[in-house]
Structure 1
Amino acid sequence: MKIEFYAKQHHFKEGSSDVQRLDSSIALSIIRQNHTPENLAIISSDRAGDIERKFMKVFGLNIQVFRKENGSWKQTGNSDTCTLKELSDLSTHSS
């Protein structure tokens, strides 16, 4: 599993546009819209779409959750209702 940061928010159960992906070398402090100190716990029973919404609500960050499928990173998009554990299991079975 991994997350990527984007300039614009995407809709639930949709992927993010590659042209909106932010360069991984950009500091989060530059792109973060909410600068109050916060913590965010992520656990295996969290759904991908819920994590994306939490990042926006808590930090003001647009993210997309990815999972590995047959050696390639795939956006969760249609699987936003799956938990991280379920996505991890899917990734394990597709290898």
Structure 2
Amino acid sequence: MHMRLPIHDNLTIADLQERFREAFPDLRIEFYKRAHGNKKGSRQEDLLNKQLCLGEIRDCLEEGEMDIFSTTTVRELEQRFHDEYGLNVQVFRKEPGCSIQTTQTDKYTLAQQMELVRHFKKSVLPRTKEQIDEYDAL
């Protein structure tokens, strides 16, 4: 699977989220004031309002289009948003009853994350405490 995500200052965070969700329905992206560390989650108080335009939150003047493939890892995707467009992004995976930040499984591709969602929908494993720290990073 492949998508081309436009990054232009007049688009809102909600615009990008919707386009990403169309391509990867079991994942979502959230935008934050600050970057998060390796295997760390983003802080709720740094979450940006979905109605903000990208031009209001970016230092980088670069605009363009980001090619995103299902073979892209979460780590690569988050890093590209930051390095190429000055955006701090966190990928979330939808699971029954909640969405969790993919902190422990950033090495997984977007396709692998979506496969985990399909597996977790059928699973009887314990729920939350960030899905038992993403099931101890599998």
Structure 2 counterpart of 1:52, from 67, 78, 85 = 78
| Partner Cα separation in structure 1 for residue 100 and residue 85 of structure 2 | 24
Q: Which of these two proteins has the greater Rg computed from alpha carbons?
A: 2
Runs of at least 5 residues in structure 1 that lack an aligned partner in the other structure? none
Local SS of the residue matching 2:64: coil
Structure 1 counterpart of 2:89, from 56, 63, 69 = 63
Is the CA contact 1:5–1:64 (under 8 Å) kept in the aligned structure 2?
A: yes
Name the residue aligned to 2:47: 21
Q: CA deviation at 1:16?
A: 0.5
* Large movers: runs of 4+ above 4 Å: none
| Partner Cα separation in structure 2 for residue 81 and residue 14 of structure 1 | 13
| Partner Cα separation in structure 2 for residue 73 and residue 51 of structure 1 | 18
User: Is 1:83 matched with 2:109?
Assistant: yes
| Partner Cα separation in structure 2 for residue 54 and residue 85 of structure 1 | 18
Q: CA deviation at 1:37?
A: 2.2
TM-score w.r.t. the length of structure 2 is 0.66
Q: CA deviation at 1:66?
A: 0.7
Local SS of the residue matching 1:64: strand
| Partner Cα separation in structure 1 for residue 59 and residue 120 of structure 2 | 36
Query: Once superposed, what is the RMSD of the aligned Cα atoms?
Result: 1.0
Q: CA deviation at 1:50?
A: 0.9
**How many pairs align?**
95
Is the CA contact 1:4–1:65 (under 8 Å) kept in the aligned structure 2?
A: yes
TM-score w.r.t. the length of structure 1 is 0.94
Runs of at least 5 residues in structure 2 that lack an aligned partner in the other structure? 1-26, 122-138
State the structure with bigger RCO (CA 8 A, min sep 6), 1 or 2: 1
